[in-house]
Structure 1
Amino acid sequence: MATDAADQTSTISGVHHAAFRCRDADQTIWFYRDVLGLADPTGIVVEERPGSGASDPYLHVFFRMGNGEYIAFFDAPSSAEGDWFLPKDGFDMHFAFEVASEEELEAMKVRLQDSGFPVGGPLDHGFVRSIYTYDPNGIQIELTRRVDSHDEILAHEQSSFEETLATWRKRTRSQKLEKFGAEALTYPGGDG
């Protein structure tokens, strides 16, 4: 359902943090602070799982990025499963950090490689150029920079997105119905 731009107001002003599970806080701090160069972290120990009251002690670690937003991690060994830390498909989970220039992107690639991490790219996605690696927790990490025409490209794509979405829906609907069932695809205002 399309809405007019004038109706698109939100009280959401940005991302405070995106949070993921980590295998070990020390290893995660080494990667994000010492390899990627994020600021020194902060964190809190919490004794109960939020909302449930169940005992599940964890350390919640926060790394502040240059724009004031955070990436955060839960070091919760009592509820962790080893298989969770295997590399995840980038379609299932990845985090894209932004750098300001091609030089910074290249410097990050060298920095990662010098720390023993394999790096893919840079790949040109049209509106951004990106490199890819995995952190020690199996999370795909993308480092990306906007091309000069980034905003114009996305504005152009937005102007025809309803048509793009309708074409995509038609192309994939039967596959999704077969795979997931109509009930799983139902939402208010949707045709299920």
Structure 2
Amino acid sequence: MTETPEARPIKGVHHGAFRCRDAEQTRWFYEDVLGLVTEGGVVLDEVPGTGADDPYLHIFFRMTNGEYIAFFDAPASADPEWFQRKESFDMHWAFEVESEEALLAMQARINSFGVSALGPIDHHFVRSIYMYDPNGIQVELTCRTADHDAIFAKEKAEFADVLARWSERTRAAKLEKFGAEAIAKRGRAPARA
């Protein structure tokens, strides 16, 4: 696909959002512990689009690049089980810091708040530390290594073959576990001019 603004219209993340158990507890972690800026929040009594009666606070935190993470504090519809720790394959944030020195400084800062930040783990393209937020979501802070871009360039060049081999290797297990309809491609390709 052509690399034009029309072909690739998404310029970045405005926000990713999840539930939180308690807005103040979440504010403490993301603002006090991690140092993000609380941009504010809005209280609404109905769910937009459905009109369902479910009062909630939608709170936003800004990162230095202008992107946000956000949370919904909606106690009436919350399931306490959702706040159990999630496996990292199921859900995690990975936030980037500028350097290895910044990563180690953040690890010391986080630990000083009594939050365990483990690592750093060397993933070759990044080095990372890990912790959990108060909502059971794993949070990773990461910094790029000197080889980051070269590793991604190599992976991009090989990806079509890697994906084809992976799909062939896992197709039977996925068909058995999920069924053909669940893993079928959706929609249709756009018409070509």
TM-score (norm: length of structure 1): 0.92
Tell me the distance in 1 between the aligned counterparts of 2:35 and 2:5: 40
Match of 1:43 in 2: 41
Matches within 5 A, 1:3-18: 3=1, 9-18=7-16
Match of 1:74 in 2: 72
Tell me the distance in 1 between the aligned counterparts of 2:47 and 2:105: 39
Match of 2:191 in 1: none
Match of 1:58 in 2: 56
Secondary structure in 1 matching 2:38? coil
State percent identity of aligned pairs: 60
Secondary structure in 2 matching 1:60? strand
Q: How many correspondences in the alignment?
A: 188
Could you tell me which of 100, 104, 119 is aligned with 1:102? 100
Query: Is 1:90 aligned to 2:88, yes or no?
Result: yes
Could you tell me which of 147, 150, 153 is aligned with 2:148? 150
Change (3 A) 1:4 1:76: same
TM-score (norm: length of structure 2): 0.92
Match of 1:165 in 2: 163
Shift of 1:148: 1.7
Secondary structure in 2 matching 1:170? helix
Shift of 1:46: 1.4
Change (3 A) 1:155 1:6: farther
Kept after mapping to 2: 8 A contact 1:29/1:41 = no
Unaligned 5+ runs, structure 2: 189-193
Tell me the distance in 1 between the aligned counterparts of 2:169 and 2:140: 28
Change (3 A) 1:189 1:73: closer
Could you tell me which of 100, 119, 133 is aligned with 1:121? 119
Amino acid at match of 1:65: M
Could you tell me which of 119, 136, 139 is aligned with 1:141? 139
Kept after mapping to 2: 8 A contact 1:57/1:76 = yes
Tell me the distance in 2 between the aligned counterparts of 1:166 and 1:159: 13
Shift of 1:132: 0.6
Q: Over aligned residue pairs, what C-alpha RMSD do you find? A: 1.8
